[in-house]
A and B are shown apart, each in its own frame.
Chain A
Amino acid sequence: MKDARREVSNAAEPRTRAGLPLKPSYGPDDVASPPPPPGTFPFTRGIHRDMYRGKPWTIRQYAGFGTPEETRDRFRYLLEQGQTGLSLALDLPTQLGLDSDDPRAEGEVGKVGVAVDSLDDVERIFGGIPLDRVSTSMTINATAPILLAMYEAAARRQGVAPERISGTVQNDLLKEFGARGAWIFPIEPSLRLAVDVIEDCVARLPRFNPISIASHYRDAGADPAEELAFTLAAGLAYVEACLARGLAVDRFAPRLSFFFYTYTNFFEEVAKYRAARRLWATTLADRFGAKEPASLKLRAACVCGGHSLTRAEPLNNVARTTLETFAVACGGVQSVFTAAYDEAFAIPTELSARTALRVQQIVARETEVAQVADPLGGSYFVEALTDAMEERVRAILGEVDAAGGMVECLRTGWLQQRIARSAYAQQRAIESGAQPVVGVNYPPGLGSAADRGDEVEAQRLSQTAAEEKARGLRELRARRDGPAVRRALDRLGDEARGGSNLQEPIREAVLAYATVGEITESLRQVFGTYQPPTRL
């Protein structure tokens, strides 16, 4: 009795970030049964038999700022330095459907990504970059239908047919309501637009991922088990939405992809990716009767960095992202973004961006990790942790189901409040020293971390991006075919009032050089705007 109480209350008992207990050592008795080989159901050990020997992970660094030209130059630099895929960062006005000259965009144009107003900008971003040979991931959600149409059109101008373009639009609106906040329309029409993109890609763009179901819950404060549970719950909600649209599970499930955050809790992160694949495969097979192996394979991209990085002593972040990158390689992901050491507080400089790229290349080329699938498989510890993670995630998925499912949890704010509670608990743990963050609260006696933040040179953003973009918009509006734009926008509004897939009318508007703001406004007039909860 006394011992049991001590076990529960002893704060010093080591646990993982998700609260999974850690034993001093692990042995054969801790492992239920070894999972089958890589490339076989339920894919715990990886989705391919020979993993990175057959298909190296894509080195895909998130980049974009200022004007299309500045972003194009950064893309070209990264490709020259050995990057193997592109990842486009868009500014907040573009993400929220506001043109660069909209008063609501004041101060935000070109800040956290590049500003895109029309097809013209996308053509310039990818100028001289062959879109049949490089794949592009776009972190775009509420305006994903528009950016996808622009990307497709820009490729066509290069002579690249739609069936040859490859890449991903994030297009995950559920996590915008739950964690990231870049929503525009209410939940129902947002889901409709997301499924429109999935349906369109299934029908027309065979090499394009129409969605990347993303785990921003983690960066908002969720622990790793909550992160995985909420992300999988969102995935299941999209499966249900696609089935409700009348799509067959084995038609669309192979096209769903995922995106996860990775921090420095190395072994737990490896276990998380292994558990994720097993949970997804078994759920798709058992609950939805998916049969195709491709439907059952969880393909994951990831970011190494996020909230694990610190502003204090920023060069320490290189060590952090190296551990994280090694973790995701051991975890068997398909695409990796390693954040730059200054990314927690600035747009990366050329130096910090190159260093982050080098971290990936060192992990990929100087270690053995890319030669052997699931190198930690069979480790008593990692197998036990994978099982424990799976069990914990199943329990949280049960809680989500009990609370009415993912969409209902977002509608009521249950999910947002749960994440905020976790974030608060984490912050308290950092401030009490219970969770060490080197250079911030460890070693003791460092003093205020706020005073040790600016040891590195920050990227300077051009002050003229907003002006340039406003001038560009004036010129565009003068030279395009005004009546054609009007007709396309009217048609889009009409079809939005009906129930048809909106990708085709959006493509027409994009080709007429309607702007992101104009297209969004046409939809907003039909769908309205989401009202965020203000309850804490």
Chain B
Amino acid sequence: MSERRVRVLIGKPGLDGHDRGARVVAMALRDAGIEVVYSGLRADVSAIAQAAVQEDVDVIGLSILSGAHLAICKRLVAELRERGATIPVVLGGVIPAADHSALRELGVAAIYGPETALEVVVAAVRDLALNHALPARAKGGPT
């Protein structure tokens, strides 16, 4: 089995234009040897799902600061499900603790705030990628 680099899509959905966090996390992931695709600002949720499937990414990271996280995550999870994709979604930004359980119920794998250390995010993304890749590869591999 050939070693493949972990691939991550950093998505900046919704209307907010502050992408400092998205860019800083993307740079940290890249420095850690992870391949990063960036959606650019105001990415359409269905386009994020589509790109994630097409680019065969292991993890989707969303950056949301505007308070629209519940609506956006709900839509993304639905879009992924429609495509039969099981790619884990990680959320970063300004996310009130009161919304964490609802987000987890939606299927968001991890939620990070402004003070989360970059190494924590990088390690979590690696773990999620590994856990995601194993069953998917086994399923899709030659029998």
Residues of chain A whose beta carbon lies under 8 Å from any beta carbon of chain B: 92-93, 95-96, 98, 104-108, 111-112, 176, 180-183, 219-221, 307, 310-312, 344-346, 420, 423-424, 427-428, 431, 440, 448-450, 453-454, 458, 461, 532-536
Whether the pair A92, B15 counts as a contact (CB closer than 8 A) is yes
Q: Separation in Å of the A104 CB from the closest CB of chain B? A: 7
* Complex: A181 Cα to B114 Cα, angstroms: 19
Whether the pair A344, B114 counts as a contact (CB closer than 8 A) is yes
Whether the pair B15, A424 counts as a contact (CB closer than 8 A) is no
Given the interface pairs A107-B72, A427-B24, A431-B118, the reply to whether A536 lies near B96 with Cβ below 8 Å is no
Tell me whether chain A's interface is mostly helix, strand or loop, or mixed.
Answer: loop
Q: Separation in Å of the A201 CB from the closest CB of chain B? A: 25
* Complex: A449 Cα to B75 Cα, angstroms: 30
Task: Give me 20 A-to-B residue pairs in the complex whose CB atoms sit less than 8 angstroms apart, sorted by A's number.
Answer: A92-B66, A104-B15, A107-B72, A108-B14, A111-B67, A112-B66, A181-B41, A310-B114, A311-B115, A345-B113, A424-B27, A448-B115, A450-B113, A454-B97, A458-B96, A532-B42, A533-B40, A535-B38, A536-B23, A536-B30
* Complex: A307 Cα to B18 Cα, angstroms: 12
Whether the pair A176, B115 counts as a contact (CB closer than 8 A) is no
* Complex: A183 Cα to B17 Cα, angstroms: 9
- CB nearest neighbor in B for A431: B117
Whether the pair A105, B40 counts as a contact (CB closer than 8 A) is no
* Complex: A181 Cα to B39 Cα, angstroms: 14
Residues from chain A with Cβ under 8 Å of B75 in the complex = 106
Given the interface pairs A420-B27, A534-B39, the reply to whether A450 lies near B15 with Cβ below 8 Å is no
Residues from chain A with Cβ under 8 Å of B96 in the complex = 345-346, 454, 458
Whether the pair A181, B16 counts as a contact (CB closer than 8 A) is yes
Whether the pair A111, B23 counts as a contact (CB closer than 8 A) is no
Residues from chain A with Cβ under 8 Å of B23 in the complex = 420, 423-424, 536
Given the interface pairs A221-B20, A427-B24, A454-B96, the reply to whether A107 lies near B115 with Cβ below 8 Å is no
* Complex: A453 Cα to B98 Cα, angstroms: 12
Q: B130: CB under 8 A from chain A?
A: no
Query: Please, what's the 1-or-0 string for B5-20, where 1 marks a CB less than 8 Å from any CB in chain A?
Result: 0000000001111111
Q: B26: CB under 8 A from chain A?
A: yes
Whether the pair A532, B40 counts as a contact (CB closer than 8 A) is yes
Q: B123: CB under 8 A from chain A?
A: no
- CB nearest neighbor in B for A183: B17
Whether the pair B117, A108 counts as a contact (CB closer than 8 A) is no
Residues from chain B with Cβ under 8 Å of A431 in the complex = 117-119
Whether the pair B24, A96 counts as a contact (CB closer than 8 A) is no
* Complex: A346 Cα to B69 Cα, angstroms: 14
Whether the pair B18, A450 counts as a contact (CB closer than 8 A) is no
Q: B94: CB under 8 A from chain A?
A: yes
Residues from chain A with Cβ under 8 Å of B119 in the complex = 431
Query: Please, what's the 1-or-0 string for B85-102, where 1 marks a CB less than 8 Å from any CB in chain A?
Result: 000000000101110000
Q: B129: CB under 8 A from chain A?
A: no
* Complex: A93 Cα to B42 Cα, angstroms: 12
* Complex: A311 Cα to B71 Cα, angstroms: 23
Residues from chain B with Cβ under 8 Å of A427 in the complex = 24, 28, 118
* Complex: A362 Cα to B60 Cα, angstroms: 47
Whether the pair A453, B97 counts as a contact (CB closer than 8 A) is yes
* Complex: A533 Cα to B17 Cα, angstroms: 12
Q: B116: CB under 8 A from chain A?
A: yes
Residues from chain A with Cβ under 8 Å of B70 in the complex = 107
